[in-house]
Amino acid sequence: LPHYASVIAEKARQNNWRYGVHIFPHDMKVHDFSTGQTRLEAARKLGLTPARVSPKLGLDEGIDAVRRRFSKYWFHQDNCKKLLDALVNYRKKWDETNHCYQARPVHDWTSHPADMVRYEAVSTRDLPTREEAVAKMVQSGFDPLNEDVEARSYFDTLAVGG
């Protein structure tokens, strides 16, 4: 976990990014017996805040959530090329014997990127729309170039469910 926290922080520094909320898979609530804390607590101590944990839902329900939201996504053509390639190639395997698709998607290089999008789709259903978020930020005096506590606390409100 420290390695990934470091990579995320470095990418933010290099690209001048400011993360809205970190979304983790459901197993982040597991307690580490050596430390007595959850992985989520450890992530937050490493600076991965605000953070929320994706609900544990069935694969089909998650895929359906992505399908319902997909038209609302915006992808950068160059920066998201690997993700888009993975999503285009995410598939179920054809069963020649029974002449139907198998129940579960193929587990290969496309699985982790597809899971990431699935976690986002099921984890952000209760977040405000882009328009609502912008309106609230403007109303609160949010300044993206200023790290003041009041503006930062708006993003912390998005981290419910963790």
Which pLDDT belongs to residue 146?
A: 63
CA-CA distances (angstroms) from residue 74 to 11, 48, 107, 130?
A: 20, 24, 25, 12
Tokens of 12: 């933010």
Query: What average pLDDT score do residues 125-144 get?
Result: 73
* Percent of the chain at pLDDT exceeding 70: 84
Outline where the chain has alpha helix (H). 2-15, 39-45, 59-69, 81-89, 111-123, 130-139, 149-156
pLDDT reported for residue 154: 46
- The model's pTM: 0.68
- What integer pLDDT is reported at residue 149 of this predicted model? 46
pLDDT at 148: 53
Task: Name the band, by pLDDT with cuts 50, 70 and 90, for residue 147.
Answer: low
Residue 84 pLDDT grade (very low, low, confident, very high; cuts 50, 70, 90): very high
Q: Is the pLDDT of residue 139 over 60?
A: yes
Compute the average pLDDT of residues 79-93: 95
Q: Which of 156, 150, 131 is nearest to 22 (CA)?
A: 156
Give the pLDDT band (50/70/90) at residue 72.
confident
